[in-house]
């Protein structure tokens, strides 16, 4: 669930708060270094969360559901965010 929030915050900052990340060279370099792992996380976390939701007990299902919803929100921010 924490990784879902990290990926969500990364894309939210990259698309809305810091719309021009290359204005500052250090921020642009950091953004580029983290972009590929975040793309992998953006597509792998929903799959893992869905599998965990299906296979887990009632208490941990809530955590997997929240993680899945945050991941879906992240996937919707990318194409429809602007």
Contact, 78 vs 13, CB < 8 A? no
What pLDDT shows up at residue 75? 86
What confidence tier does 17 reach under pLDDT thresholds 50, 70, 90? confident
The answer to whether the predicted template modeling score (pTM) of the entire model surpasses 0.85 is no
Rounded to whole angstroms, how far apart are CA atoms 59 and 46?
Answer: 19
Rounded to whole angstroms, how far apart are CA atoms 67 and 18?
Answer: 24
How many whole angstroms from its chain centre is CA 42?
A: 5
Q: Answer with the residue of higher pLDDT: 35 or 20.
A: 35
What pLDDT shows up at residue 81? 65
């Amino acid at each position: 669930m924490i990784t879902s929030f990290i990926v969500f915050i990364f894309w939210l900052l990259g698309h809305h708060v810091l719309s021009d990340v290359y204005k500052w060279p250090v921020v642009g370099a950091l953004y580029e270094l983290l972009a590929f792992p975040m793309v992998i996380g953006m597509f792998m976390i929903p799959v893992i969360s869905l599998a965990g939701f299906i296979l887990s007990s009632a208490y941990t299902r809530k955590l997997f559901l929240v993680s899945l919803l945050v991941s879906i929100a992240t996937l919707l921010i990318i194409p429809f965010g602007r």
